Structure 1
Amino acid sequence: MSDELWEAHADWWIEGFTDGADPEYVEQILPLAADELAGARRVLDIGCGDGQIARLAASQGSTVVGVDPTWNCVSVAEDRGGGPAYARAGAASLPFASGSFDAATACLVFEHIDEVDAAIAEVARVLEPGGRFCFFLNHPILQAPGSSWIDDHMVDPPEQYWRLGPYLVETETTEQVELGVWIRFIHRPMSRYVNALAANGLTIERMVEPAPPPGFLERAPGYADSAAFPRLLYLRLRKS
């Protein structure tokens, strides 16, 4: 069902989050990816979408392969070119030999994957010893079901605060992200990912919880209060 939704709504993602359309990618994700993938020889971009991170890595001299389970995304990535090769594949069954890459990346992908343990095991398998995994997630405090900004007018003066939903419960939701566009998310607490990564020999070297970038905060007056809450979680992991 998740793949069917992405197939149906790939245009929503491509039009709204690629090719300079999204300030969080332009100002935050892509610069961080450029730094973290610098010097990699062979890069695998898992859930590559239209290929914007794959193209970025290729522009830095890496040999890059992007995979995505969605035909619509793979076809757009191929049309946009830029050097990478692309294939249709899911994260839980990567069509590559063990140790094929010295770097892998997944950007805002694993919160849509059911078979998270199998997918993490596959990342570890296709990395060579000492290889790096550049792992971007929507921050779990953002994804916990029921989390939202609350305007509390029952107190004087009124207060606005972030309500955190049931963080420790692993939960699947299908959200209407735009009129007529439904996308499936799976919330997992941070420990769920970290323990699965560690169990597969992937250890954390760096963790980043950046404040939302200026371009995002400027999109609406109410977003200024978001500056103290991370929307992104980034982990750099190393295969032992």
Structure 2
Amino acid sequence: MEDSWEQHAEWWQEGFTEGQDEEYEEQIIPLARDLLMGYKKILDVGTGEGQISRVLVESGAEIVIGVDPTHNQIREANKRGGGPLYLRGRSEQLPFDESSFDAAIACLVFEHIEAMDSAIEEIARILKPNAKFLFFLNHPLVQTPGSGWIDDQILDPPEKYWRIGPYLTEVMEMEEVDNGVFLPFVHRPLSRYVNALSSAGLVISSMHEPSPPEGFLKRSLQFGDAALIPRLLVIEAIRAA
């Protein structure tokens, strides 16, 4: 799976960073900045080329460390600079001491991690008591295998809706996210994430299901009637004292 991320790192950098993606620009980055405001030492798990880490430094964090297993992402993160420290590493084997960070963030990362339980346990380990874990996911409801937007003009009257696949299935698939670009996605029901957080001593304090941002809806006109179907899930969890 890591080979696919190495192969397509440049594709991701060109399509989802430096203002190229409305969901990052209008929703994900502002939420990350606002919900981690005031935290001084932050770990960015699955940092990619570092766009979240750079924003956190710009917002006042004193130390931000971005970790990613992909060489091509870390190389680009170091080129773009901006203040964070970048390291190559895996989420289930973080190279840090216990209770090292005030906060951690994982942004659209865990739907690509097979060793989810171990990774969450590692994040809990490196957080200080009462530290925050900010957890962004593609919403599990719309990430189910076989799910997708349906525009049925045969019915009278026509219907538009999001088809839900086998939600309770836990499965890893290589999905074609663009022409010739295959990346690994692991679908899990929401309860798997909630229970893993709880088992690791991370207490959920808040959950957000924002409507898709305006820029995404305008760009993807076929989803215009999907403004009330969340694409993003954001969980705030606190490390138990």
TM-score bracket, shorter-length normalisation: over 0.9
Q: 2:98–2:128: 8 Å Cα contact kept in structure 1?
A: yes
Residue 118 (1) aligns with residue 108 (2): no
Figure out how many residues of one structure are paired with residues of the other and give that number. Answer: 239
Paired residue for 1:68? Answer: 68
Per the TM alignment, residue 154 of structure 1 is displaced from its structure 2 partner at its CA by: 4.0
Q: Work out the CA distance in 1 between the residues paired with 2:179 and 2:222.
A: 21
**What is the rounded CA distance, in whole Å, between the counterparts of 2:153 and 2:24 in structure 1?**
34
Question: 1:114-148: CA deviations, max 9, x gaps?
Answer: 10010000000000000000100000012100101
| 1:85 counterpart = 2:74 | no
**1:23-172 correspondence runs (5 A):** 23-62=22-61, 63-172=63-172
Measured in 2, the distance between the counterparts of 1:79 and 1:155 equals 53
Aligned equivalents of 2:47, 2:153: Cα separation in 1 = 43
Determine the C-alpha separation between the residues in 2 that align with 1:214 and 1:173.
Answer: 30
Match of 2:238 in 1: 238
**Rounded Cα–Cα distance in structure 2 between residues aligned with 1:153 and 1:181:** 30
Runs of 4+ in 1 over 2 A off after TM superposition: 151-155
Offset, 1:228: 1.1
Letter in 2 for 1:89: G
| Conserved? CA contact 2:44–2:104, under 8 Å | yes
SS at match of 1:193: helix
Residue type at the aligned position of 1:113 = I
Structure 1: tracts of 5 or more residues without a match: none
Query: Residue 218 of structure 1: SS of its match in structure 2?
Result: helix
> When the two structures are superposed, what TM-score results if normalisation uses the length of structure 2?
0.97
User: Which whole-Å CA distance do the structure 2 matches of 1:8 and 1:226 have between them?
Assistant: 32
Aligned-partner Cα distance in 2 for 1:162–1:45: 32
Contact 2:204 2:235 in 1 (8 A): yes
Deviation of residue 60 (structure 1)?
A: 1.7
Report the identity percentage.
55
- SS of the residue corresponding to residue 140 of structure 1 reads coil
What RMSD in Å do the two structures reach over aligned CA positions?
Answer: 0.8
Q: Does 1:178 align with 2:189?
A: no
| Residue 95 of structure 1, CA deviation | 0.3
Deviation sequence 1:89-128 (CA, Å, 0-9, x none): 0100000000110100000000000100100000000000
2:142 aligns to what SS in structure 1? helix
Greater Cα offset, 77-86 or 221-230: 221-230
CA deviation digits over 1:46-80, x for unaligned, max 9? 00001011001111221100000000000111111
